Every structure is written in C-alpha cells, then in structure tokens.
Chain A
C-alpha cells in the first residue's frame, strides 16, 4: 500500500515540467516578490501552467483568490487540507469549485464521501461563466449631499472615468488560467457528464457490522484510489502514447464519525494513527502520479490540538475557514461585509528553500454570486 521512501523524497513527478524551466529558475530562492515571466509554449495538459516562482506544474483550485494565496495555484502531486467551518457550507463550496474547475478543464475526477452520495455533490456543482470577461458596471463617485441625482452630472470633472470599474482589493492572479462560476445556477448535465468521474461512497464498500471498521474505511479508500490511478494511467508507468491528464481527488469530511473514526468523538482518540497513516499514504500516492487532492476535515470537532498539528504537517497546503454564522462576530460591524475568516495554516516549499507565505495575515472571505473573494481586511485607522 505505501510506496518507497525514494518515491516520497522525489517531489516532482511530471516530466513535462522540466521543459518550461530554465536553470535560473531552479537556483532562485524566493526572498523577493519578483516574478519572472515565463513563455512556455509547450503546456501539453489543459488547465495547467508552470509556476512562475519555482517551475512546478500548477492547477487552479477554481477560486482565483485562493490560487493567489497558494502561490499561483495548487501544485500537481500535493494535498490541500481545508479545515471546515462549523456548518460545512463554505468548505463544501470550495470543494465544489475544485471539482467544477476539473470538469471545465477536462480533468478526471475522483470523489469520496461517507455522508452524502458523491452524485449529490456532483449535481450541485456551480455553472461556469463561459464568456469569461468581467463586465464593468458604471460606477458613480460618492456624491456630496445636495447635488442633483443626474447620473452624468454626478461626475462633473472626472466624467471620463465614469464607466471604468472600481478598483478591487480582492486578490487575483493576473493570468486567466482559473475560471469563474455562477453559484446560483448548477452546471448543466451535458457538461458534467462529459467529464469522467470515479466515485467512492463508503457505505457501498464497507459492511456496517464489521468490527474492524475503523481502519478498513481508510485503507479501502486508499486501495480504491491506487487502483483508479493505475488503471487510468496517471502513474506514468505506461509509455507516453496517449495524452496526459490530471486526476482531481476530492475527499469530503475525512475524520468525521461517519468514516468510522473516533478522532472527532473522543478527547483522546484510541486510534489516532488511522487518519495520519492514510494521509501519509495519500501523499506518497499523489507524488508519484499526476494527481492533486483536496481534503476537507471537520477540525472544529477535534479536541486534540497536537493531532491537528500532525494532520496539518502531513498535508502540503492547509487553510482553515471560520464562518461568522452563529458566532457573536456576526453582528460585529467590522465584519458585516464578509461571510467569514480564512486562515492560511501552511504553504509548502517544493523544490525551493523558502516558503512563499502570503503577505497579508488578516484574510476574510465573501461568497458572492459570481466569485468567491478573499480579501485582506482593512481595519479603520491602519491605512
């Protein structure tokens, strides 16, 4: 089940990656914010691009603000851990964005759940906005009180700037490798069925009455994933006769009681090694194949902080979501424009010495209809 240590130590798997890099890129240490432009014309896998910082092959998470925070995108072969918010609304949304991005880029999907059927998540994927150009709305400058309500006279002096869009403080990558989605509509059935999707629904694989249920659920999942990777040729064992593709793995609510794990139930869980062993095996499997994984975890139920630290270290990227719903922050006027806070717990350093942590630490997110924005909070008085 687990691969060799040799496999784990070689971080990059995709051979296409070396084409776009120059020797200058490899020696660069990320201490400045300088980003070199790359002009690689040989991207053979749709929906990916090499990173401008360290040359890794990146895929988009589906949320352009999140791509910017993670250093341009999610590197192929890594795991993104999302610590769920209390009611699992926004973490589930990000998982859906990730899978929807896979459908639009024509990657293959692998969805594993224990609570709801994977088909339910797939039916809720947001519809992509395919014309892909943000339409600027005419914005008026703030008027002094007493002036007439005429829209043209509102900007007497600067009227040429009337139709330009307002400057946004949202973080976004400058390239167009991510897509935008409309949350109010679901993806059309034809688009969704064009993508190949592998499902893993835990009750189908495990008989409920088995006593050693706890360990079996994770190992069954890992075996199933390994079998899919090998069968579909993501592990680069077969020669490069057919075109390459990326496998996007979405694992929903790992560690919850429905996976048979008592991590969330007891203060001192008896079998805390099951999930950590699984994550170790998952990362080894991903490093040796062209896949990328997003794992959501109900961390608010885990009482043991040391265990949470272990889990964070075993994943490459880690973010945590905290929604304002139900907490006393909901009525705080500072937070009235946002739906919750986002914490970047960990960013990996792959093939380089230093991590590229985001500059801003106070991040807040807002789920708008056409965009999931992550903004830095501008506190009054700090400007």
Chain B
C-alpha cells in the first residue's frame, strides 16, 4: 500500500507521516516529494524544521520550476522586521494567497515540514480547522504533513491524525537501513485498510518495498489447530466401514416419502390451497390474562 500512496494521493487527501526520534520520517517525506515531482505536479513546501538547503539536498535540480519552498526556518515568529513566512501565516487565507501567487493552472500539493512546529505555536483546534478547510477548499489538491509523535500529548496527535485520510507510522527495522511502515488508509466510503511493510530508501529517494514483517508468519501458525477426532480412543467403535455405510443408506425409514411427494409438500405449487396466516392484533389472546377481553 505504501507504493500506491507514493504513486499518487487522491484529491482532497491528507497524508500524515508519523515518526519519532528513533527513526526520522524526513527521508520518506522527500521520497513523496520526489515521486510527486516525477509526476509533474506543483509542490509548495512550508519549511519549519530544517533549512532550505538541507531540504533541497538530494532532490533533482531540474525540478525546481515546480517546487516552491517557503522558508519558515530562518524567522518563523517574525522577530526580524521582514520575515519570509511566519507561523501566524498558517491560516486559510494566507496559505491560499501563497499558493495562488505562483499562478499555475492546476492546484498544488502542500507539504508541511513539520506539523509539530506549528502545533507548538498555535492551538491544536485552530490547526485542525485550518487543515480541514485546506482540504475542502480548492486551492490545494492534497496535503502531506510530517508529525513527530513524541513531541505532543497523545490527544493532540490523535486529534490531528483523526483528520487524515492516510496515515503512515514509521519505526526502525531490525536490520540497518530498513524501516517498518504501518499504513492506514481510509477511503471515502468509510472502508479502512491497514498494512505493514518493510521498506528502505535509496540515495535518490526511491523507496523499495521489502517483504512483510516476519511476525505475521507466526500468527498463521498458531491459528492452525489440530482438529481432534472425537471417534478416536474409545472403547467402542463409532466408525462405519464401507459396507456398513451402504447398508445404512439402503435402510428405509418408517415415514420416508418418495422424492416427488417431498418436493410437493415442501414447495407447494399453485392451486394447492395454501393457508396464509397473518396474526392480527386480536389474535394475541393470552390464556392467563382473564381480563384481556374487557375493554378497559
């Protein structure tokens, strides 16, 4: 499922990559950016966590036409007189203006690195509302955000992830460069799909999906139980030999009817006088209640 998400996010979608200090999700975020650039999409990045150079490092320089990085790393709170992008500008009107400034024909994909930074300076309900409005409005086609789960309370992380249509939680894998991704995808119809995959990211930010994690195999072994045979280990014989089976089937039972009579009785044809009984309210006569027929 990770590869499907890399190939494209549906319009109005909101993807969150949840990472922790044990494994950084920024490489996966850059893979998403690379994949989107390869698909000829316009991308706007709000850069809070790391500097612009560090974010551009590794991305192909030929794609910078469609890639717009808004530097919020150098002055996010507007302490100098002329900030580039402040955290206060994270609202629907300002972001819509920002995206529309580049005057591209098709709506852009907004990448936020990272949501944690914004959540520390704006209240979570306000951030959730802005994200929901961005999704519903037409200026931005999809939103991808990076969230550091160990920086916030569980309720905050839960509330923001509740809005997401796709959620990827990354954790370090067993071997060196591998990582485990737990992907949850909610479709519009309400169906939820979950998957767990091991992946590794190459130098050019392409993702290779390796096998599924091995503990899934353990589960299938334990669910296969042995079917115990109740007819074994008895002092009397419960099994039937073949000749005994034949004899049993040949035995005529006392009230056995022929096949035609059975079908006639089970599926009565037209004109055979069916009684259709619909219980009426008056038929509900309770034998124990003597006053039932009194009109009290």
Give A residues with C-beta under 8 Å from B: 22, 37, 39, 87-89, 92-93, 115, 146-147, 152, 156-157, 159-160, 162-163, 203, 208-209, 213-214, 256-262, 264-267, 298, 300-303, 325-326, 331, 333
B253 interface residue (CB < 8 Å to A) = yes
Provide the bound-state CA to CA distance between A266 and B190, in Å: 27
Known: A262-B124, A262-B125. A267 touches B296 (CB 8 A): no
CB-nearest residue of chain A to B286: A37
Partner of A258, one of B129, B262, B263, B289: B129
Query: Provided the pairs A157-B253, A267-B153 are in contact, do residues A257 and B128 lie with their beta carbons within 8 angstroms?
Result: yes
Given contacts A87-B186, A89-B192, A301-B162, A267 and B155 within 8 Å (CB-CB): yes
Q: Does the CB pair B286–A326 fall under 8 Å?
A: no
Q: Which residues of B contact A88 (CB under 8 A)?
A: 162
Known A-B contacts: A37-B284, A152-B259, A264-B158. Give 20 more (CB < 8 A): A37-B289, A39-B281, A87-B192, A92-B190, A159-B262, A203-B133, A208-B133, A258-B129, A260-B125, A260-B129, A261-B125, A264-B155, A264-B162, A265-B123, A265-B124, A266-B124, A267-B155, A298-B162, A301-B159, A301-B162
Chain B residues near A301 (CB, 8 Å)?
155, 158-159, 162
- Asked if B92 is at the interface of the complex by the 8 Å CB criterion, the answer is yes
A163 to B265, CA, bound (A): 11
Which residues from chain B sit less than 8 Å from chain A, CB to CB? 91-92, 123-126, 128-130, 132-133, 153-156, 158-160, 162-163, 184, 186, 190-192, 194, 219, 223, 240, 245, 249, 253, 256, 259, 262-263, 265-266, 281, 284, 286, 289, 296
State in angstroms the CA–CA spacing of A298 and B123 once bound together.
19
The smallest beta-carbon distance between A34 and chain B, in angstroms, is 11
Across-interface contacts of A331 in B (CB, < 8 A): 219, 223
Chain B proximity of A372: nearest CB distance (Å): 14
Contacts A/B (CB < 8 Å), 9 sampled? A87-B186, A93-B190, A159-B262, A208-B130, A256-B128, A259-B125, A265-B125, A265-B155, A333-B223
User: What distance in Å separates the Cβ of B271 from its nearest Cβ neighbour in chain A?
Assistant: 20
- B217–chain A nearest beta-carbon distance, Å: 12
Instruction: Please tell me if the beta carbons of B125 and A258 are within 8 angstroms of each other in the complex.
Output: yes
Question: Which of B129, B219, B262 lies at the interface centre, i.e. has the most chain A CB atoms within 10 A of its CB?
Answer: B129
Q: From DSSP, what is the main secondary structure of chain A's interface residues?
A: loop
Q: In the complex, what's the smallest C-beta–C-beta distance from A2 to chain B, in angstroms? A: 25
Q: How far is the CB of A199 from chain B (nearest CB, A)?
A: 16
Q: List residues of chain B with CB within 8 A of the CB of A157.
A: 253
Q: How far is the CA of A303 from the CA of B223 in the complex (A)?
A: 34
Which residues of the other chain, B, contact A146 by a CB distance below 8 angstroms?
Answer: 240, 245
Whether B266 contacts A162 by the Cβ 8 Å rule is yes
The listed residue (A147, A203, A256, A325) touching B159 by CB distance below 8 A is A256
Q: Which of A147, A256, A325, A326 contacts B162 (CB 8 A)?
A: A256
Contact A208 B284 (CB under 8 A): no
Distance in Å from the Cβ of B90 to the closest Cβ of chain A?
12
On chain A, the residues within 8 Å of B265 by CB distance are 160
Q: Which residues of B contact A298 (CB under 8 A)?
A: 162
Contacts of A92 in B (CB 8 A): 190
The reply to whether A326 and B192 contact each other, CB–CB distance below 8 Å, is: yes
Chain B residues near A325 (CB, 8 Å)? 192, 194
Task: Determine whether the beta carbon of A214 is less than 8 Å from that of B162.
Answer: no
- Asked if residues B154 and A303 are in contact (CB atoms below 8 Å), the reply is yes
Supposing A264-B159, A331-B219 touch, asked if A257 and B124 sit within 8 A by C-beta, the answer is yes
A203 to B136, CA, bound (A): 11
Give the chain A neighbours of B92 by CB distance below 8 A: 208
Nearest CB in chain B to that of A84: its residue:
B162
B184 contact set on A, CB distance < 8 A: 326
Q: Which residues of B contact A213 (CB under 8 A)?
A: 125-126
**Are A159's CB and B266's CB within 8 A?**
yes
4 pairs of A and B residues whose beta carbons are closest in the complex: A265-B124, A257-B128, A257-B159, A301-B158
- Tell me the minimal C-beta distance from A128 to chain B in angstroms: 19
What residues of chain A lie closer than 8 Å to B130, measured between beta carbons? 208
Contact partner of B155 (CB less than 8 A), chosen from A93, A159, A258, A302, is: A302
